[in-house]
Amino acid sequence: MPDYTDAQLENRAKNAPLLRYVDSFRMHGHRAAHVDPLNKLQREEVAALDPARYGLSSPEQEYEIDGVLWYDGAPFDPTTSSPVSSDIKWSLKKITEHLKSVYVGAIAYEFMHSPSKAERLWFAHLLESEDDATQKQRLSDANKKQIWEDLVKSEVMDNFLQDKFPNLKRYGLEGAESMIPALNTLFNVASKAGVEHVMIGMPHRGRLNLLTDLLQYPPRALFHKIKGNSELPEWLGASGDVISHLAITSALQTEHGKLTVQLLQNPSHLEAINPVALGKTRGKQYSLIHTSDSSCMLGDKAMCVQLHGDAAFTGQGIVMESLGLSNLPHYTSGGSVHLVVNNNIGYTTPGTISRSSLYCSDVAKMINAPVLHVNGDFPEEVARAMDIAFQYRNFFRKDIIVDLITYRRWGHNELDEPGFTQPLMYQEIRQRESVPKRYEQKLIASGVIDSSASSEFRKARVAYLQSELDNSTTYVPTSEWDKGQETGVARGKWTQMVWPASQSAVHNPDTGVEKDVLVNVGKASVEIPSGFTMHERLKRHTGARVKSLETGTGINWGTAEALAFGSLMLDGHDVRISGQDVGRGTFSHRHAMLVDQRTEEVIVPLNECLKGGRIELANSSLSEVAVLGFEYGMSWETPSLLPIWEAQFGDFFNGAQVIIDTFVSSSQTKWAMQSGIVMLLPHGLDGAGPEHSSMRIERMLQLTNDPFVDGKNVNVNMSIVNPTTAAQYFHLLRRQMKRNYRKPLIVAAPKGLLRSPAASSDIGEFLPGTTFQPVLADPLADPNTTRRVLLVSGKLYYELVKERATRGLEKEVAIIRLEELCPFPFAHVKATLEPYFRSGSNPTIAWVQEEAQNQGAWPHVMPRLMNTLKDEGNRMEVEYVGREASEVPAVGVGKIHAAQNAAILKEAFEMRG
């Protein structure tokens, strides 16, 4: 925005009282605006809007307004550098009338809290440059008719569902029908500006209206679902979800071109979809930038739209965490438009006691987002507010909030009785004519439509819905899926993937890589440009990496990870690893980015030296739920991306449990949505105390549908692994991309093993023909002399090996590692144990873990291991060796921790029987 000219600055100083008066309208006008249909918002007399407080007492006195007020009667042009209103004189009366028409109407503007002068000027210029009459003239009769049609379609749909399915909880839009023309306006202005993709995250309120009114979801498909049928083909074996979570991808034809709108699947947990929608938008824009010319910037072609409820927007912490991502370089998506469908109530709790702020939107001020409050009873003003919101978003590429203040004609759902708790509010609501009918009467009175045409339009819409209801009896949900190919996700880039349960799914591809490629990638991962000053301590790190590759021995965890990333990049895959400290690594083990010690210039050697895909190291804000949700959204967008979220410590996932429960573990079966998300959760009891010890393996395993017996055909929802060697980790990451389907991968990532020579691998374990091994047999054990078999998962293996050597029991005790806990490797376990059963030595079998008995893998492994032994005709019990049941993951006293460890090792090697 152009700055003030010298003449404008002089006039502002000359008319300082007038300037204060005008700024008061900009600052406080929202408090006097008529934005609440029910007048439930607390209001007071706004003394700041009285000109007398500024010494302005004569209504007829004229003032030069150049630099004080921005009016020239023409549409706003933010690129102009000339004064908008030079040589114009207005009386105080006219100034007051204009300010009231702009700031004290059905739209209330909050923008003066912005620290950006450019943004404040932008709003003032835009809002004040035209008078109210000129603004209204810009809305054609065709526009008004479209608004009316949107409102009527919504109302007819709600009435039809109420008539045909009176016991249905549909979370209708009655009272807030203006949401539909708001979104239709947004789609049109976005399309005109060149946006091609819109990602929508929204809750249940009004979802069915949006689906069937604007997004072309077949009503017959909805009625089919309402009648108790699945929205998914039977062959997928998916459980489906409730009607208020239905989704669609629609190719809309606006007057300006094609616009693809994706209404994303969402869980019932309020606002959980927000960061997922952000991540999916970022993923879409990332791929568009790759395929577009150099002028394509973030936000040009893809936009995120988030809908919210007023109580949820105020109350859910995920809103704050998601807003916190909006302007960060690795997370911005070019600005989101937020639409709060504000019913003035949350379930039965009124807004006055459900938040500590005046507006539900006040939380957005944490990022200085402007807010437009608009009265839902005025659909034309609602459309105007959305137009302004998009203009701001597109100009500044920042988030903006539209607070659509409405009411619910029914209660929280259509089966509630709201009069129990809000009798006066609902006494008023029941006397009000609907928003569509009020607007219809206005258009009839002005001659835009006639009453007979409006009646016919409603009848035609009812007839259409009745026809769709009749046809729902024969509807079969096949349009989204191609059964012949069994893809399950037959859209865009996902056509290359197959459904995980299909016959064509490749579960264990060869993930090895040629030696020369590995060596080149490894060296590239630590190569620095000439003149770059590396930290002295990192010279040892880079030297050790190069040496391990040249000798082919001692390849540690960080090197194996770099080899996996780089080799995948050479294959054309992008890699994104997100979380706190991921560039360096929480345990200073990764160093995928290097910082010049003189200039703080950052380089990513793999990006500098390799051609193909790119790696993005996204050091995140101190957020778990929003960041994991964001990465999950990225994983939904493209299967060629390896998306990783790394927690600083495994237990940090607690803050993101909602995303894990409602998306990561269940999207495949609820929505037939695949995801290749990887979660790295550092795990292991090492004396660090109750927190930061456990990534709660037991909790993750409980979220799986892993079968209890071998041979049961189950499409297991995710993989949970506890790898103990660098090569195993390498193969896991490559397997994630080399499969022809996608599943979430949860890794109990190590801490102490990152630099342990015992956990390092030789180059031969990475070469072609090698893969991840779900079970690692004991290379030293002799089945003919073995008296005891220990089964273990994770870093405790190395302590057991050391203790066994101390006791000299290599020939008598076998130690077998379960590297993959889910899907449980029945066949691999059986094949590994079989030699011990056939030897005749009759060894005892024990499961050994460092976690408490009610935690760790034991609750998951025990019944499956017992079933495996029974299949072999073996009736032996499996002993448990580990800590006793506990309410905490680990003790906080070092001596007790050490004593517990010693007791586990002692019991593990006690020979019995």
Q: Average of pLDDT values for 242-261?
A: 92
Give me the pLDDT at residue 893, please: 94
Mean pLDDT of 219-226: 95
> Does residue 87 surpass a pLDDT of 50?
yes
**Higher per-residue pLDDT: 345 or 791:** 791
Supply the pLDDT for residue 86: 58
Q: What pLDDT is stored for residue 297 in this prediction?
A: 83
Q: Residue 872 — pLDDT band, cuts 50, 70, 90? A: low
- The pLDDT assigned to 80 comes to 64
Sheet holding 844-852, edge to edge: 775-776, 813-818, 788-792, 844-852, 878-883
Q: Among candidates 718, 723, 722, which has minimal Cα distance to 703?
A: 718
CA 535 to chain centre: 36
Instruction: Report the C-alpha gap between 86 and 115 in whole angstroms.
Output: 26
> In the sheet where 719-721 sits, what is the strand order?
615-619, 574-579, 641-646, 678-682, 745-749, 719-721, 820-822
The residues with which 847 forms a beta bridge, in sequence order, are 791, 880
Phi-psi map region of 527: left, alpha, beta (phi>0 left; psi -120 to 50 alpha): beta
Q: How confident is the model at residue 913 (pLDDT cuts 50, 70, 90)?
A: low
User: Tens of pLDDT along 149-169?
Assistant: 999 999 999 999 999 999 999
pLDDT for position 874: 60
Mean of pLDDT values over 660-687? 95
Whether residue 488 is predicted with pLDDT greater than 60 in this model: the reply is no
In whole numbers, what is the pLDDT of the chain averaged over residues? 91
Query: Pick the residue with more confidence: 376 or 346?
Result: 376
Confidence of residue 619 (pLDDT cuts 50, 70, 90): very high
Q: What are phi and psi of 277, to 5 degrees?
A: -65, -40
Question: What radius of gyration, in Å, describes the C-alpha atoms of the chain?
Answer: 32
* Average pLDDT for 674-692: 94
Q: What percent of the chain has pLDDT over 90?
A: 77
What pLDDT, on a 0 to 100 scale, did the predictor assign at position 485? 39
Phi, psi of 444 (to 5 degrees): -65, -45
Which amino acid makes up residue 373?
H
Q: What is the mean pLDDT of residues 704-712?
A: 92
Prediction pTM value: 0.94
Burial state string for 49-77 with b = 16 or more CB within 10 A and e = fewer than 16: bebeebebeeeeeebbbbbbbbbbeeebe
Rounded-to-10 torsion of CA 880, 886, 892, 894: -30
Strand pairing class (641-646; 574-579): parallel
* Average pLDDT of the segment spanning 870-896: 86
CB burial string 338-358: b at 16+ within 10 A, e below: bbbbbbbbbeeeebeebbeee
Count Cβ atoms below 10 Å from residue 424 Cβ, excluding itself: 10
Give the separation between CA 577 and CA 115, rounded to whole angstroms. 32
Q: Is 487's pLDDT higher than 50?
A: no
Q: Is 325 exposed, middle or buried (0-12, 13-18, 19+ CB in 10 A)?
A: buried
**CB-CB contact of 645 with 628 (8 Å):** yes
CA angle 213–214–220, rounded 5-degree value: 50
Q: Give the DSSP H or E segment for 140.
A: none
Q: In this predicted model, which residue has the larger pLDDT, 1 or 206?
A: 206
Whether omega before 823 lies within 30 degrees of 0, making that bond cis, reads yes
CB atoms within 10 A of CB 14: 13
Domain architecture of the chain: domains with CATH: 6-136 (no CATH), 146-227+239-472 (3.40.50.970), 515-765 (3.40.50.12470), 775-909 (3.40.50.11610)
What the block records as the tokens of 377 is 């009873």
Taking residues 456-477, report their average pLDDT: 95
User: What does the pLDDT average to over 593-611?
Assistant: 93
Cα distances (Å, whole numbers) of residue 73 to 59, 102, 127, 676, 694: 22, 13, 11, 54, 65
pLDDT in the model for residue 25: 97
SS3 682: strand
Work out the average pLDDT over 782-808.
96
Q: What residues are paired with 411 via a beta bridge?
A: none
Confidence of residue 873 (pLDDT cuts 50, 70, 90): low
Helix 625-637 × helix 317-325 angle, to 10°: 60
Residue 470's pLDDT is 96
**For the ranges 142-146, 230-234, 480-484, 582-586, which has the lowest average pLDDT?**
480-484
Q: What percent of the chain has pLDDT over 70?
A: 96
Terminal Cα distance for the chain, rounded: 85
DSSP per position, 27-91: HHGGGTS---TT--S-----GGG-GGGGT---TT-EEE-TTTS---SS---TT--S-SSTT-EEE
For residue 641, CA distances in Å to 56, 221, 445, 593, 616 come to 63, 32, 56, 19, 11
Q: Angle, to 10 degrees, between the axis of helix 858-871 and the axis of helix 826-838?
A: 60
The predicted pLDDT at position 246 comes to 93
**Per-residue pLDDT tens digits for 274-283:** 999 999 999 9
Q: Tell me: pLDDT of 740 over 80.
A: yes
Residue 490 has pLDDT above 70, yes or no: no
